Structure 1
Amino acid sequence: MALAQSTFRALADPTRRDILVMLRDRDLTIAEVAQNFDMTRAAVKKHLTVLSDGGLICVRAQGRERINTLNPKGIKPVIDWLTYFDAFWDDRLSTLKTIIEKDTK
């Protein structure tokens, strides 16, 4: 569950969600990501670290640069969590519907 928590933490910030959208199109260096935001490179690096800790991106060294890549499998803990609650509420609402229909007959 720790991975799911760090994934949710990573997704909680709109800047990090914007970074994920940017990485959808291509791999980017820290400098390339930073060009799109009004913040320091160090602040962008912190956001990228949170995304990496959440399993949403992979970071690899290429010479002196760090290349950030979207990790589509990283969203799986979120999907699993949402799927559980989707099934939970489907079951509860189906039960409620059955009870209401029984009472109206």
Structure 2
Amino acid sequence: MADELSKVFAALADPTRRDIVARLAAGDATVGELAEPYDVTVQAVSKHLKVLEGAGLVTRGRDAQRRPVHLEANVFDLMTKWIERYRREAEARYSRLADVLAELNDAPGEAGGLQEGAVS
């Protein structure tokens, strides 16, 4: 799983590839259609697509003469699960920190506690 994620995050590190992925979220497109808004060659976009394809983010199909590029949403599920795991861990740490800080504030007269009349 970690190696798969490394490929995905590395592929998405490039802003052009992120933009291509965002455009494919609206629907399948050909390499030529994907290349239109960029000041690069179709071959350059094709290279970006090979990186995305290697990471499992896109697949290329065949529809008669048309070769649409398709976004593979299941890869985003993998990323979401990974991100969610660390979000929950961070949230738990912040919750424990909040509990410790609350205990310190509730301990009158002890070092670190806020005393009545003290200026904070």
Q: TM-score, normalised by structure 2?
A: 0.79
More helix by share: 1
What CA RMSD, in Å, does the superposition of the two structures yield over aligned residues? 1.5
> What is the CA distance between 1:56 and its match in structure 2?
1.5
Q: Distance in 2 between matches of 1:68 and 1:50?
A: 13
> What is the CA distance between 1:79 and its match in structure 2?
0.9
Q: Distance in 2 between matches of 1:75 and 1:51?
A: 13
Aligned residues: 105
1:36 is matched with 37
> What is the CA distance between 1:93 and its match in structure 2?
0.5
Q: Distance in 2 between matches of 1:66 and 1:5?
A: 27
Q: Distance in 2 between matches of 1:37 and 1:52?
A: 19
Q: TM-score, normalised by structure 1?
A: 0.89
1:19 is matched with 20
Q: Distance in 2 between matches of 1:88 and 1:94?
A: 10
For the pair 1:87 / 2:88, whether they are aligned, the reply is yes
Aligned pairs for 1:1-105 (under 5 A) are 1-63=2-64, 65-105=66-106
Q: Distance in 2 between matches of 1:53 and 1:41?
A: 18
Kindly indicate whether the alpha-carbon contact (under 8 Å) linking 1:7 and 1:75 is maintained by their aligned counterparts in 2. no
Bigger Rg, which one:
2
> What is the CA distance between 1:87 and its match in structure 2?
0.7
> What is the CA distance between 1:4 and its match in structure 2?
0.5
Kindly indicate whether the alpha-carbon contact (under 8 Å) linking 1:57 and 1:74 is maintained by their aligned counterparts in 2. no
Divergent runs of 4+, >2 A: 61-66
- Percent sequence identity over matched residues? 31
